[in-house]
Chains A and B, each alone.
Chain A
């Protein structure tokens, strides 16, 4: 056992690479055919997919930029154009990459013919896509989803539903395509199947030891974002769930020696993801739950698909109030029997990070477990001070001794 690595890689990793390679090739082919849209991560992609439009995800590409450790360079290109360092690093690196695709991983995202933004994850996406529109000539569609406070109201859903109808009109006129209800139902079924399997894999992490760690989930979530509503996503999550189930039945954990179970809040530092989580794995720290990968859940299936799309997509984690976030974290800490939590205050992502100091207090009050807030960014490594973060994490871990 002593020679075994602290972190156990998933066998499904190779399948994930194949699926993502196919996604990228599909994107390039669709761009050449004039059928590619860039889409925000929380957009109801089932609609364009059902209409034969392929989706590419700049936020996911931002994760690639971060992982490839070229965030500062690509963000720098946007800053050279006059964009503020305070702007989201997904937006900056996307604008930088679009201005200099030759200096971007894989030559940049394929050129879009439309830009589909939904502000359920943040308000920056609209201006970001406006900037991309100026650079590429692709038109922007905004699906407006006002924030939800407390219970979702019927008039709120009705408003978003009208946006979905406008989306269909926009896609029809932009691409010369139409929406068939039967096809949308097929896409909805694929999306539901993938999300169900993904949710089962996430919930398997309630087991001790946890079969997945944070980095596993952050990588494995790629198809639920980028291939939602397609058959390859269902196949991948079926394979992942089989592996997770196998680990659980054999008592195999994601890390060799699980001692401390923590929750992770927010997007990860993509440029440091393995070093960070595997470094902690060596110290027996596993993250069986996080708020980010749990954000893709729910189904649009049912009688009235447009109503369901409007209800689901406007009621996502980041579009709800602080109390909803606190409730979710408290629920995860209790359900997954966690010892503490780490909140990553991401300078880029104001929507995710604002309120964390208050949330931290409330979560500790309600659960009795300690937490820590660390500061940095998901793509721009210039904002990540390793020594300061190490001290905060070390101090949290010392509380468990």
Chain B
């Protein structure tokens, strides 16, 4: 293959994502694995897969790391925060987006994107895991269904339970209480999503809600989350085809600005 290539590695708390782009920023290959106990190992697995899919050696290809484990990737040319990378990745896919809401495994962020694709303002969740993927994982476990089933399960409800949105641990106790009180599990699941949407709505309003709004991150794949967030923000949401890859895509696009290693 000829021409300049670039790689973005997004080492998240739950999953590690890699994207390879050509000199025009078009995606050539991508891969996603669970991060597991070693972000570095997950990153190498991703690179091997990229190499296999494209038929090119990834050594020497400019690489930018991002995500929670970005500083672990010593072979990367640079590390850049997920805030900037998601912003650039989303801007590439839809330049109209001005508010990005990214909800990952252990953090959630609202980013105001400037016309140049760079963040203009941002807000992240505090130390609490309410409003992150972890919150929904805990709720799914209590309801004894898989995380993938949780969203469709919640959408069957017409009357969401009221769940506290302030703390994952207390919300878990609350859910157990609702189960004990005989409430419909669909309603409880819906209540958990509404609570989460409430939390994310507050975060978003801190940077200013401006349409069109994009949702990314693993939690964006959950249809109930999108439904309740859309209601919370009184706005339609736009989601890219692969909402988990936008951070890695942004990193890959930034890597095109790096000098090529000799």
Contact = CB atoms under 8 A, between A and B. Distances in A.
Interface of A: 357, 361, 364, 370, 372-373, 375, 385, 387-388, 391-392, 394-395, 398-399, 401
Given A357-B206, A375-B126, A399-B120, A387 B83 contact: no
Contacts of A398: 80-81, 83-84, 118-119
Contacts of B127: 375, 385, 388
A388 B123 CA distance: 12
Contacts of A361: 206
Interface of B: 68, 80-84, 107, 118-124, 126-127, 206
Contacts of B68: 387, 391
A395 B122 CA distance: 9
A399 B124 contact: no
Contacts of B84: 395, 398
A113 to B, nearest CB: 42
B201 to A, nearest CB: 15
Greatest chain B CB density within 10 A among A373, A395, A399 is at A395
B168 to A, nearest CB: 16
A399 B126 contact: no
For the complex of A and B, the 4 pairs showing the least CB-CB separation, nearest first, are A395-B83, A395-B81, A398-B84, A394-B81
Nearest to B69: A387
A388 B81 contact: no
A361 B207 CA distance: 8
For the residues of B in contact with A, the DSSP-based class is mixed
B41 to A, nearest CB: 19
B119 A399 contact: yes
Nearest to B124: A392
A373 B125 CA distance: 11
Contacts of B83: 391, 395, 398
A399 B120 CA distance: 7
Nearest to A387: B68
B121 A364 contact: yes
A361 B121 CA distance: 10
Given A357-B206, A398-B81, A398-B84, A391 B124 contact: yes
Contacts of A375: 126-127
A373 B120 CA distance: 14
12 contacts: A364-B121, A370-B121, A372-B122, A375-B127, A395-B81, A395-B122, A398-B80, A398-B84, A399-B118, A399-B119, A399-B120, A401-B118
A398 B127 CA distance: 22
A394 B124 CA distance: 13
Nearest to A370: B121
A57 to B, nearest CB: 30
B142 to A, nearest CB: 26
B78 to A, nearest CB: 11
Contacts of A370: 120-121
Contacts of B123: 373
Given A395-B81, A395-B83, A398-B81, A388 B121 contact: no
A169 to B, nearest CB: 47
Nearest to A374: B124
Nearest to A394: B81
Contacts of A364: 121
A312 B83 CA distance: 44
A152 B126 CA distance: 37
A394 B121 CA distance: 13
Nearest to B82: A391
A361 B110 CA distance: 14
A393 to B, nearest CB: 9
Contacts of B82: 391
Contacts of A401: 118
Contacts of B119: 395, 398-399
A388 B107 CA distance: 10
Nearest to B114: A399
A369 to B, nearest CB: 11
Contacts of B120: 370, 399
A401 B64 CA distance: 16
A47 to B, nearest CB: 42
A389 B178 CA distance: 36
Nearest to B83: A395
A296 B206 CA distance: 32
A395 B84 CA distance: 7
A109 B127 CA distance: 34
B113 to A, nearest CB: 12
A361 to B, nearest CB: 8
A385 B68 CA distance: 13
A253 to B, nearest CB: 26
A399 B81 CA distance: 11
B254 to A, nearest CB: 10
Given A398-B80, A398-B84, 11 more contacts: A357-B206, A361-B206, A370-B120, A375-B126, A388-B107, A391-B68, A391-B83, A395-B122, A398-B118, A398-B119, A401-B118
A13 B83 CA distance: 39
A333 to B, nearest CB: 16
B124 A388 contact: yes
Contacts of B121: 364, 370
A9 B82 CA distance: 34
Contacts of A372: 122
A364 B82 CA distance: 22
B124 to A, nearest CB: 6
B87 to A, nearest CB: 9
